[in-house]
Structure formats: C-alpha cells, structure tokens
Structure 1
C-alpha cells in the first residue's frame, strides 16, 4: 500500500502529496482533543516498524486492519483530552528507541516496547513526535531543548532551531514535526514553504549534509503544522 494518513483539512496539501503518486487516507476527528488537534495524525497513530498503534476512538482508521501488511494495535485506555494525557501516542521512534513523556504513553505501547526490547527514553515534552522532524534514520530537527538533549545523548545528529514561525490555528505557533513528512528516504516535504522559516538556511544545510532533498508543498505559503503525515 502506498498512502499517507493525514488530516484532510488542507485539501491542497493532500493533493500535492497525491501528485507524488500516493493515496491519502484521512485521519479521524477526535472530539476529546482541542479543536486545532482533532485531526492531527501524530495524536492518533504511532507506527513502529510494521506495527501501528491507534487510539480506541479512531473509528474510521480501524479499517486499516484490512491491510495485512501491518499489525494494528488499539490503545488500552480511552483518550483524555487534557495534557499530558492527550499525548498517549505522540511519541518519536527513531534508531531503535522510543522517545516520549513516559507517564502519558499508553500501556499498550509500553508493553510492546518491553516485549520487543525497545528502550523508552523519557522526555519532558509530551508532544514529542510533532516537535521533531525526522530527516533520516539517524538525524532530526527540533526546537525543544529536552528532545535535543535526549536525542543527542543517544547518538542522533540533531539540528536545534528557534521556536515559532510555524502556523497552527488556535495556538501561538506549531511544531516542525507536524509541518513536514518524509516522502521517501531522500525527500522531506514541508506543509507550506520552509523558506518562510527564519532558520531556513540552517535547515537547508542540514538536509544537504544528510543527502535529503527539500520539497515545498505550497510555495510562498506559511509553514503549517497539520499534525504531520504517516506513510503506510
């Protein structure tokens, strides 16, 4: 299956990804979350290798069970819209480790990590996945100091950028991880135009170092946190 799961609130961005030959599977609308986050896939789904964790409330996405390429695991607990309990699946899996606010991670994920020998690295920032742009198997970009320190300590090459300059309706600003997705191993696509970010040159150099091409899905438009996109 060649598809991305993401919010369909931004049809032009969805169409831009479809133009690369992918289908779009719309994320669910989770009413327990604050309005700007209700369709954010990085709040609803966590993919670790060929296993996909879903919130119990994701009624539409449960049809992914029909795809035999993946093992769908539903969360044990009902989601709570209050932070940090809302970030049960907003975790970052990179280089064989899972990063997240451990107290908030759903028990199904914790049990899975224990059974599969995956270390959970506790970080203060609960919005771990949406705060981090994965640029490669061993490289990432974030504005969060706690994530930067944790990743760096574990051998990940991390670019630290300034907070802000990313649009997220209803909030002062959004996060870099929610504003991009890896189209393939050598291409990162930004939701909006990365050139509008004040750290664009640093980001551009970092991507060049890691042999990653940058694509803007909406030229001359604000960089926007749409909750990222999960490739399946």
Structure 2
C-alpha cells in the first residue's frame, strides 16, 4: 500500500510543468511516463491545428497566385496539411530530439534511457502546445497573420526575408521551452549545467536558422 502511494506521489503531471517544472522533471527521471502525456499533447495540437486550419483565411494569404477554379482544392489541401502537421509534427520532433539527446548522453557516459528522454521531451512539448493554442486564439480573436506568433519579435518588428523568419521564431514560448530543456537535461539526463545549457542553446540557434531560411525562401516566392 505504501509503495503504491509513493508511486502515485512520484507520478509526474503534464500540466504541472507550467508552475513546477523542476519538480515534474525530477519525477520524470524516477517515473518516466509516455502514452498518457503523449495522447494529451497530440489532442492539444490537433485542437490548435483545427482551429488554425478553419479560422485562417487561406484565400487571402494565397492572394492572386492561385486561379479561382483551383482555389477550393488548394484551400482544402492546405487545411488537411495543417491538421496532419499538427498530429505528426510533435511526435516527429520528440523522436528526433530524443535520438540526438541519447547520442550526446552516450558520448558523455550518461546512464539516461531512451524512455526517460522520450518522456522528458513529451512533457516539455506542453510549452509548444500552449504557445500554439494561445497564439491561435489571439489571432482568431483580433486578426493577424497566422504565420507570425503575436508573442514573437516578428509581430513587433515587421521584417521580411531571413531576418524576418528569425524574428518570428524568437518568441516567449520558444525561450520558455529552451530554459525547460536545459533544466530537463540536468535533472533527467544528468548533464552538467554547462552542457545542458549549451545543447539547449544550440538547438535554439538551429531552429532560428531554419526559420530564417524559411523566411528567405518565402520572400523569394519559393
């Protein structure tokens, strides 16, 4: 009985990551959980993606680039793509980051397991889910470009091209997620403080570069 009570006490809470992330990440190390949290994360992203897909004026975003007779087909394809991306994107992101963290862990002789890292990344994904939901709701309520988060520098400094893409990726929830990643790598993977922050910042920089390249390609009409 006491063992069961202790197990329940050590059970990490996905939503408690918002107000007590360090405590939850320590629990993840002791009691890594995957399927329940992953199901909740997936549902949150589906809800946010559906809201984004069916409140975005795709015709306006496309402008005059698409002939009128093809517009309905393109709109439908775009909305479906948004939904599929909302489902697969988080899972693929969790898998990739877990694999990279595991390779680094092997290099530095950390005994962290794949399950622990996968669970950690699933719990960290709550920040991205909240960011997408909050920004989608705000844009739906007051209007704006759905491609630019209102919590980003891109919404304050309207610049196109590479710089614009990077500014759009520098936003509150991304920074919050980076900080939690550094804490998680210390608490769950046992990385040193310097290594944990270094890895998290490198991930952030890579994300900014990709966002910048995306902005540059969009500016070129690619």
TM-score exceeds 0.5: no
Q: Which protein is richer in helix relative to its size?
A: 2
TM-score (norm 2): 0.30
Q: Which protein is richer in strand relative to its size?
A: 1
More contact order relative to length (CA 8 Å, sep ≥ 6): 2
